[in-house]
Amino acid sequence: MINTTNGSNDQGHQSSALPARPKVLIIGAGLGGLTLGMLLHKANISFDIFERASEVKNIGSAMMLTSTTAYLFQQCGIYDEFVSLGKKVVATQVGNEQRELEYTMKFGENSELFGYENYIIARPALYDLLRRQVPRERIHMGVKITETSQDNSGVRIHCSNGAVYEGDILVGADGAYSIVRHSIYSQLKAESSLPASDALPLPYSTECLVGQTRVLDVSEFPRLAREDCQFMNIIGDNKPYSYMTFTMKSNSVCWAVVKYLDMERSKHDSSFDNSEWGSEAAEAFCQEVQDFPIISGSEKPLTLGDLIEWTDKDKISKVMLEEKVFETWHHGRTVLLGDACHKLNPAGGAGATNALHDAISLANHIYALPPCPTITDTDEAFKAYTSERIPWAKAAFESSSIFKMMASTGFMSRVVRFSAKYMPLWAQKYIVIQMNVNRPQMIMDHQKVLLKGEKLFMGQQHKIHATPCFTSGAKIE
C-alpha cells in the first residue's frame, strides 16, 4: 500500500525543507498518462501511474503530430529523438480504387509559419519514447482498479487484490470507458448534478482495422523510398469503406481501414456482441477487405491483402471509433484527461494531440497549486483546466467530423471532397493556421515565470495577454 502524506520523499525529489507538493495518482499508462507523468517528474511532483494491462499492446497504428506538440518535446529534451523516429508529412493524398490519384492537399512548409514541421510516427515508437521519460518504478502494470473514492482529506484507489493506494489528486487517463469517469459520474448522478448528456452511452458509427507491416524492402513498396511520408487515403467505390496507408521511417507501412455503419451504435446496446471484437473478429475483417486495391508505386498491383500478409497477426486490431466530448471533466480532487473526457474520430488526427495538450495544461494547473491543497483548491484548479481545454476539444471534435465526412461515402462526402479539391491556396493556409493555433507550453521554474504576466522562453521574452500565467492556451506575440 502506498500511503503518501504531505511532505513525503517517496520520489527522492522533495525535501522536508521544501513545501509539500500534492501526491498524484494517475490511472492509465497510455500516451496521456505517460505525458502527464513525464511533466510531473520534471516538476518534482510525486506521482504513480497504474495500468490494468500487464503489458501495453503495440497495436500497429500511426499518428501525426504537428507544431502544436513540438514545444512540449523541445522543453522535455526529446524533440530530436522524436524527429528521428518520425517521417515528415507535407501533404495528404486522396486516391480511388482504380489506383488513380485524384488530388493532393498540401500542408505547405509548416516551419515557415510555425517553426516546426508535421511528422507521422508509429504509435509504438511514440509510446516507447514517452515511457522512457518516466522512472520505471513510477509505473505499476497489471493493477486492476475496482473502485475509487475521495473526501476532504484525499483520494483512494481500491484494487482487485485488496491493495489500497492513497494520494491527494486522482487523474483518470484510462480511456473511453474510464472507471474513474464512471466513479465520479456515479457520485454526481446521486447528487442530481450530472448533465443529462453525460449520462448517455458513448456512441460510435465507425469501426476500424489497423496494422503495421514488418520492415519492407523498397522493391516491395516503392513509395517507401520517398523522403516524406506518403499519406494516402482511398475512398471505396460504392462501398462503406475508406482506407489509408502511411509510409514510416522504419521502412514499414501503417495501414487502417474504416467501415461506416448504417446507424449509430453503443457498447451498451442490446445488440452489442463482444464476439465482434478480438482476434477472430479482426481476422474476419481482414477477409472482408483483402482485395481492396492500394497505391504503392509498384508495377505489381498490390492490395490490402498484401499489407495484411506482411503484418504480424498480433499487430492487427479491430477497434470501435467512439465520438463524444463530455461536459464534466472533474469533481473534487478527481480529474479526467484524454479519451476519458473526449473521444475524437481519428480522421482528423487530433486524438493524441489533444491528450498531450490536456497533460500540459493539467500539469501546469497542478504545479500552480498551493502546498497541501484543499479540496476547494483542487476543484478550482480543475475548473480552470476544464474551462481552458474544453473549447479546444470541441473544436477538434468538429474538425475531426469534417475529416471523417471527407473520407466517407455519400452525397455530402462528395461535396466536401469536391470543395477540398478546388479549395484556393489562401483557404488551405487559413485552415492550416487554425489547426496549429493552439500550442501550449509547460511551466517550469527554470523558465522564470513572472506573475506580472511575462515570461522568458528559449531566450526570448513574450507577453501573455488576457489569460492567467498558468494557462497553457495563452495568446503569445
CATH code of the domain containing 39:
3.50.50.60
26 or 347, higher pLDDT: 26
Q: Which domain holds residue 52?
A: 24-57+125-201+324-421
- Is 399 a domain residue? yes
454 or 195, higher pLDDT: 195
One domain for residues 408 and 449: no
One domain for residues 470 and 346: no
One domain for residues 470 and 371: no
Asked whether the predicted pLDDT for residue 173 surpasses 70, the reply is yes
One domain for residues 447 and 398: no
One domain for residues 332 and 415: yes
Q: Dump pLDDT digits (tens) for 422-441.
A: 677 777 677 677 777 778 88
One domain for residues 455 and 335: no
One domain for residues 453 and 395: no
- The order of strands in the sheet holding 330-331 is 139-141, 47-51, 24-27, 169-172, 334-336, 330-331
CB atoms < 10 A from the CB of 3, how many?
Answer: 13
- Is 210 a domain residue? no
3-state DSSP of the chain: CCECCCCCCCCCCCCCCCCCCCCEEEECCCHHHHHHHHHHHHCCCCEEEEECCCCCCCCCCEEEECHHHHHHHHHCCCHHHHHHHCEEECEEEEECCCCCEEEEEECCCHHHHHCCCEEEEEHHHHHHHHHCCCCHHHEEECCCEEEEEEECCEEEEEECCCCEEEECEEEECCCCCCHHHHHHHHHHHHCCCCCHHHHCCCEEEEEEEEEECCCCCCCCCHHHHCCCCCEEEEECCCCCEEEEEEECCCCCEEEEEEEEEEEEEECCCCCCCHHHCCHHHHHHHHHHHCCCECCCCCCCCCEHHHHHHCCCHHHEEEEEEECEECCCCEECCEEECHHHCEECCHHHCCHHHHHHHHHHHHHHHHHCCCCCCCHHHHHHHHHHHHHHHHHHHHHHHHHHHHHHHHHCCCHHHHHHHHHHHCCCHHHHHHHHHHHCCCCCCCCCHHHCCECCCEEEECCEEEEEECCCCCCCCCEEC
- Give the chain's domain count: 2
Q: Dump pLDDT digits (tens) for 186-229.
A: 999 999 999 999 999 999 888 999 999 999 999 999 999 999 99
One domain for residues 454 and 403: no
Cell of 75: 522543453
- Is 362 a domain residue? yes
One domain for residues 352 and 459: no
334 or 238, higher pLDDT: 334
Asked whether the predicted pLDDT for residue 232 surpasses 60, the reply is yes
What is the band of 126 on the pLDDT scale with cuts at 50, 70, 90?
very high
Q: Dump pLDDT digits (tens) for 60-118.
A: 678 888 888 998 999 999 999 999 999 999 888 989 999 999 888 877 666 677 778 88
Please tell me whether the overall predicted TM-score, pTM, comes out greater than 0.75 for this model: yes
What is the band of 309 on the pLDDT scale with cuts at 50, 70, 90?
very high
One domain for residues 360 and 408: yes
